[in-house]
Amino acid sequence: MNYTFNIQKTTAPKPKPDPNNLKFGKYFTDHMFIMDYETGKGWFDGRIVPYGPVSLDPAAAVLHYGQIMFEGMKAYRTTDNRVQLFRPYMNAARARRSNERICIPEIDEELFVSAVKAVVNADRDWIPEKEGTSLYIRPFVIADDPFLGVQAANHYKFMIILSPVGPYYDIPGGGLPPTNIYIEDEFVRAAVGGVGFAKVGGNYAAALRSQARAKEMGCAQVLWLDAVEHSYIEEIGTSNAFVMIDDEVITAPLMGTILPGVTRATVIELLKKWDIKVSERRLRIEDVVKASEEGKLQEMFGTGTAAVISPVGKLTHKDYEVTVGDGNVGSLTQKLYDTIYGIQTGKLSDDMGWTVSI
Ligand SMILES: *Cc1c(COP(=O)(O)O)cnc(C)c1O
């Protein structure tokens, strides 16, 4: 099916932000995508309109019970001035699974990708050119029924907003800084049977308290452990966690508590292609500490759309600290970053067929 959308162009284009001073998620483009849903009618009236506030009834379900899902992806301007997305159908499929978990009606994957392409195309001149910059894409769905009963809504809005973003790390020369990560052994992010695998708003509100603790401890992010034993490594903040012990790269299996990252899948596929041993298996923090003591803890990193690959140099627990490798960026960590970012920005050829031009 071929989707087309009405476009209402802005009559008051905004000035573009300084490309040298882009923060994450602070500036928004001139347009946004909106589509409505009504039970019995389905999704209708997909349109691109000038960016601006939406009006919601104060009783709108999303404001009370958090029936909201979101996605996060990027459009990149390539060195030869094309615009491309990275594996957008994986985001569309994940959106479908998130929606299903919290009773939001299904969005056809072609519709999802068509809407992303259409709104990015409308604001293509907002995609910055400077090295390390990109256009962050935030699709989301909210329940906007004015009704206080706890039930799945009958009206929804599917929206997409766009934000030009700078390099995740602002380091001259573009190096990756090793981060210090706080081992959270009291609060948990997700439990089996819950919503950890879904990108739904409530997961992130529930994580804020731990993130604040991490900051107090001088750490960049939280290392989440499993909800039952507080032992198995799950994720790092809002990124997937990988640990390299000896010659094995380990990441948590998808058992319902892990957000199935597009970057995570990409890292696993690349490691397999490079004949590096990669295992989706449970790994205890105690075994990471032991590996470190035995000099076997080689590398550790987080993966996600925002930073691509984020090296971990140190883990901080309230009672102890662990240094990863020699505390600097590991060579595999750096190679994964260079490869994935290179493909996303067209500097490396995409022999895996991961990019989609707009
Ligand atoms: C979005 C997200 C990730 C990373 O997913 P990508 O598709 O790689 O960006 C990992 N963990 C959590 C909790 C997330 O919300």
pLDDT in tens, 300-333: 999 999 999 999 999 999 999 999 999 999 999 9
Q: How far is CA 355 from CA 74, 291, 305, 348, in A?
A: 11, 37, 14, 11
Determine the residue of 211, 259, 268 to mutate for testing ligand 1's pocket, defined as the one with the most ligand atoms within 8 A of the Cβ atom: 259
Query: What pLDDT is attached to residue 1?
Result: 65
Q: Say how far apart CA 342 and CA 172 lie, in whole Å.
A: 18
Distance from the alpha carbon of residue 51 to the mean position of ligand 1, in angstroms: 26
Among residues 265, 240, 268, the alpha carbon closest in space to that of 252 is found at 240
Pairing between β-strand 134-143 and β-strand 68-70 as defined by DSSP bridges? antiparallel
pTM of the model: 0.96
Determine the residue of 91, 240, 269 to mutate for testing ligand 1's pocket, defined as the one with the most ligand atoms within 8 A of the Cβ atom: 240
Mean pLDDT across the chain? 95
Distance from the alpha carbon of residue 356 to the mean position of ligand 1, in angstroms: 20
How much of the chain, in percent, has pLDDT values that exceed 70?
A: 98
- How big is the CA angle at 243 (ends 95 and 71), to the nearest 5 degrees? 15
What is the Cβ-side half-sphere exposure of residue 272, based on CA atoms within 13 angstroms? 9
Q: Say how far apart CA 233 and CA 240 lie, in whole Å.
A: 10
Kindly report the protein residue whose alpha carbon is nearest to atom 14 of ligand 1: 238
Q: List, for residues 108-132, the tens digit of each pLDDT value.
A: 999 999 999 999 999 999 999 888 8
Report the atom number in ligand 1 closest to the C-alpha of 262: 7
Joined tokens for residue 126: 């907002």
Amino acid symbol at 265: A
Q: List, for residues 39-80, the tens digit of each pLDDT value.
A: 999 999 999 999 999 999 999 999 999 999 999 999 999 988
Joined tokens for residue 306: 């925002």
- pLDDT bucket at 173, cuts 50 / 70 / 90: low
The span from the first CA to the last CA of the chain, in angstroms, equals: 18
Distance from the alpha carbon of residue 239 to the mean position of ligand 1, in angstroms: 5
Distance from the alpha carbon of residue 166 to the mean position of ligand 1, in angstroms: 18
Q: Say how far apart CA 194 and CA 255 lie, in whole Å.
A: 11
Does residue 344 have its Cβ closer than 6 Å to ligand 1? Answer: no
Query: What pLDDT is attached to residue 168?
Result: 76
Q: List, for residues 341-355, the tens digit of each pLDDT value.
A: 999 999 999 999 999
Distance from the alpha carbon of residue 108 to the mean position of ligand 1, in angstroms: 21
Query: What pLDDT is attached to residue 170?
Result: 64
Checking if the pLDDT of 174 tops 70, the result is no
Checking if the pLDDT of 210 tops 80, the result is yes
User: Quick one: three-class SS letters along the chain?
Assistant: CCCCCEECCCCCCCCCCCHHHCCCCCCCCCEEEEEEEECCCEEEEEEEEECCCCCCCCCEHHHHHCCEEECCEEEEECCCCCEEEECHHHHHHHHHHHHHHCCCCCCCHHHHHHHHHHHHHHCHHHCCCCCCCEEEEEEEEEECCECCCCCCCCEEEEEEEEEEECCCCCCCCCCCCCEEEEEECCCCCCCCCCCCCCCEHHHHHCCHHHHHHHHHCCCCEEEEECCCCCCEEEEECCEEEEEEECCEEEECCCCCCCCCCHHHHHHHHHHHHCCCEEEECCCEHHHHHHHHHCCCEEEEEEEECCCEEEEEEEEECCCCEEECCCCCCCHHHHHHHHHHHHHHCCCCCCCCCCEEEC
Contact 195, 260 (CB under 8 A): no
Checking if the pLDDT of 32 tops 80, the result is yes
Query: What pLDDT is attached to residue 167?
Result: 81
Checking if the pLDDT of 172 tops 80, the result is no
Whether the CA torsion 149, 150, 151, 157 is positive or negative: it is: positive
Query: What pLDDT is attached to residue 131?
Result: 86
Query: What pLDDT is attached to residue 316?
Result: 97
Contact 67, 142 (CB under 8 A): yes
* For residues 76-85, average pLDDT: 94
Checking if the pLDDT of 21 tops 70, the result is yes
Report the atom number in ligand 1 closest to the C-alpha of 91: 7
- pLDDT bucket at 23, cuts 50 / 70 / 90: confident
What residues have CB less than 8 Å from 293, skipping those under 6 apart? Answer: none
Contact 288, 183 (CB under 8 A): no
Query: What pLDDT is attached to residue 176?
Result: 87
Q: Say how far apart CA 290 and CA 235 lie, in whole Å.
A: 19
